[in-house]
């Protein structure tokens, strides 16, 4: 049986639900900013806007916009793969989920 020092185990977020939440928020924020930048454009009047204006404009513009079913499906698939790969990269894939959960508070 291979032993590893607890101090050497990297701490990654391995909860797929938390990863789905992070990825969903990123995608929504990215789309808001992209839509705002596309609508502002790059003409002579666009120089009047700064970064905070773009974020405010994007938030106002895309209120009520939700992720589609397909977005959620792809994000969930990617989150599950990412969680699995993070457990493998941490070197604790041989542990059961309950054992890892018990060990996790000491990793932070």
- The model's pLDDT over 35-89, given as tens digits with 9 standing for 90+, comes to 777 666 666 665 566 656 666 666 666 665 678 899 999 999 999 999 888 877 7
Q: Which of 1-5, 17-21, 33-37, 103-107 has the lowest mean pLDDT?
A: 1-5
Measured CA to CA, the distance from residue 54 to residue 33 in angstroms comes to 7
- Contact between 7 and 87 under an 8 Å Cβ cutoff? The reply is no
Measured CA to CA, the distance from residue 103 to residue 56 in angstroms comes to 42
Q: Give the angle subtended at the CA of 61 by the CAs of 57 and 64, to the nearest 5°.
A: 135
Could you please report the per-residue DSSP string of 7-20?
Answer: GGSPP----HHHHH
Contact partners, residue 62, CB within 8 Å, separation at least 6: 28, 31, 32, 35
Q: Which of 19-23, 29-33, 46-50, 103-107 has the lowest mean pLDDT?
A: 46-50
Measured CA to CA, the distance from residue 53 to residue 35 in angstroms comes to 13
Nearest to 97 by CA among 77, 76, 83: 83
- The model's pLDDT over 90-105, given as tens digits with 9 standing for 90+, comes to 777 777 878 877 776 6
């Amino acid at each position: 049986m291979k032993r590893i020092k607890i101090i050497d185990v990297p701490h990654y977020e391995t909860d797929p639900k938390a990863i789905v939440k992070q990825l969903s928020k990123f995608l929504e924020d990215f789309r808001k900013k992209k839509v705002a930048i596309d609508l502002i454009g790059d003409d002579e009047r666009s120089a009047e806007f700064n970064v905070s204006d773009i974020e405010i404009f994007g938030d106002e513009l895309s209120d009520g916009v939700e992720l589609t079913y397909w977005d959620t499906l792809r994000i969930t698939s990617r989150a599950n793969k990412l969680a699995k790969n993070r457990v493998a990269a941490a070197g604790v894939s041989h542990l059961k989920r309950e054992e890892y959960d018990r060990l996790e508070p000491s990793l932070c």
